[in-house]
Amino acid sequence: MIQISPEQKIYTQIRRICDELGYSVYDYLPDSKAGFPFIVLGDQFSQNFREHKDYYNKRTQITVHFWHNEWRKRGSLTKIMHDVELGIIREFKVNGEDISVQVLPDNSTGSDLWHGILETDIKI
């Protein structure tokens, strides 16, 4: 029997949230044939902490990247980000201050893109 780590469970749940909202979601940056907008689940970090005398808890942070290729549709990108943010808040009961959001212009590919970044801090 394969045991799934608590971090992997959270990663999988966030992926499910994105899927159920109807967005294309990847575990990697897809090639140029992928349709926009799309979501990429990125880095995940965890830290142990002791909350009680002999019991360790964890916090994990996951970075979720959002990409859109239509410069005049920034609002579409921020709506997708908001939908995912609300899904994470509902699923994990996180506080609003445990989520940060950025929207940046990106031309690293030679095209003008919107790049949204959502970082969340979840207690396990």
Yes or no: say if 37 and 76 are a contact pair by the CB < 8 Å rule.
yes
pLDDT in tens, 103-119: 999 988 888 899 999 99
Give me the number of domains the chain comprises: 1
Percent of the chain with pLDDT over 70: 96
Domain containing 30: what range?
A: 6-123
Residue at 30 is within a domain: yes
Angle at alpha carbon of residue 42, lines to 36 and 44, rounded to 5°: 160
Instruction: Kindly give, in sequence order, each residue whose CB lies less than 8 Å from that of residue 30, ignoring residues fewer than 6 positions away.
Output: 38, 40
Task: Report the CATH number that the domain containing residue 65 is assigned in CATH.
Answer: 3.30.70.1700
pTM for the model: 0.90
Angle at alpha carbon of residue 8, lines to 26 and 96, rounded to 5°: 80
Residues 32-55 have a mean pLDDT of 85
H-state helical runs in the chain: 6-20, 74-92
pLDDT in tens, 22-34: 999 999 989 878 8
Residue at 1 is within a domain: no
